[in-house]
Homo-oligomer: A and B are copies of this chain.
Amino acid sequence: MIGIKDIGYYIPAGRICNYERKEQFGIDDHFIAHKIGVEQVSQKAPEEETSDLCVKAFEDLSRRTPIDLTTIEAVIVVTQNPDRNIPHVSAMVHGKLGLPERCACFDISLGCSGFVYALSTMLGFMTANGMKKGLLITADPYSKVVDPDDKNTTLLFGDAAAATLISDSPRFTMGATTFGTIGKEHEKLAVNDQGILFMNGRAVFNFAAKYIPDDIRLMAERNGIELEQIDRFLLHQGSKIIVETIATKLGVDQEKVPFTTQSYGNTIASTIPILLQDELEGSAKKIAISGFGVGLSWASSLLLRAS
């Protein structure tokens, strides 16, 4: 069975400090530290392209675990901010890494639910095609589409990328997964005709607070376990308040539900793999993951430590 072997990531060094923007946006320390929970957002250098972020995440991964590039049979990049729309970023990454010609590459367009969807997609695709090694890369630099004067977005979103090695000697395998979409609500979180991101923060919060606790319960049921048996809940880091709200609604200990993105922000589909990296060497055996956002879209799953 294939699953997650290791994870590397790249968070650009550039930071915008939200405490320095209190006057501009009429916010206070409490709002920053306890509502959004994001004190700084990471920002890539202007010359760094999405494919560059992918390569840097791969380099971190390859420092953590030896990778024989000739064995890589598939690359999926999850992004809605590609270098350009044609070709797919995964082909550019394929070229930059010097991967073998017999390698399947494609991009998946999804936002904050992207890692959970793409992990299921990649495992299904690789299993169907008898593949043993692959790279699942998330890289969605929202600095390309965020208006720095829009309080609803610029205080939250940070740039990052994560590279997950899928392998037939996994540390975690994937259990039953739940998926959902409310396409008629897509305008709540979308770019406009000028390519600038708009978010109705309250509507997106309400969507997540309403749907995600029930979805995680359904996911647990489909995996045949009780919530109490789950060691960790790695939720999409939309904001501190949404993570805490979902944890409260689930009735689980807040310490099982980390919020760790104070210093770089909401990195879209990269938030869950960055959180998960911290768990690879840990003791957690059953880890719930849940992503939600653009679409509106969500997915939840259970990762099981391979014995």
A interface residues, Cβ below 8 angstroms from B:
74-75, 80-82, 84-96, 98-99, 101-111, 114, 117-118, 120-121, 123-129, 145, 176-186, 189-193, 195, 197, 294-297, 299
Contact = CB atoms under 8 A, between A and B. Distances in A.
Contacts of A177: 129
Contacts of A117: 104, 106
Among all A-B residue pairs, the 3 with the closest Cβ atoms: A94-B183, A95-B183, A124-B128
A107 B85 CA distance: 13
B190 A86 contact: yes
Nearest to A182: B101
Contacts of A90: 181, 183
Most buried by B among A92, A104, A178, A193: A104
A95 B193 CA distance: 19
Contact of A180 (B102, B129, B294): B102
A146 to B, nearest CB: 11
Q: Is the interface of A mostly helix, strand, loop or mixed?
A: mixed
B190 A104 contact: no
B108 A107 contact: yes
A217 to B, nearest CB: 14
A121 B106 contact: yes
Given A106-B108, A109-B108, A179-B102, A86 B297 contact: no
A145 B296 CA distance: 28
Contacts of A297: 87-88, 91, 105-106
Given A88-B295, A91-B186, 12 more contacts: A84-B192, A85-B109, A86-B145, A87-B295, A88-B297, A89-B109, A91-B183, A91-B296, A94-B184, A105-B297, A107-B110, A127-B128
Contacts of A193: 84
B91 A295 contact: yes
B125 A111 contact: no
Contacts of A184: 94-95, 98
A80 B88 contact: yes
Contacts of A110: 88, 106-107
B106 A106 contact: no
A10 to B, nearest CB: 19
B95 A186 contact: yes
A120 B197 CA distance: 33
11 contacts: A80-B85, A81-B86, A82-B85, A84-B190, A84-B193, A86-B145, A88-B109, A91-B183, A93-B183, A121-B121, A124-B125
Contacts of A99: 181, 183
B91 A81 contact: no
A84 B191 contact: yes
Contacts of A75: 181
Given A80-B88, A85-B85, A91-B295, A104 B181 contact: yes
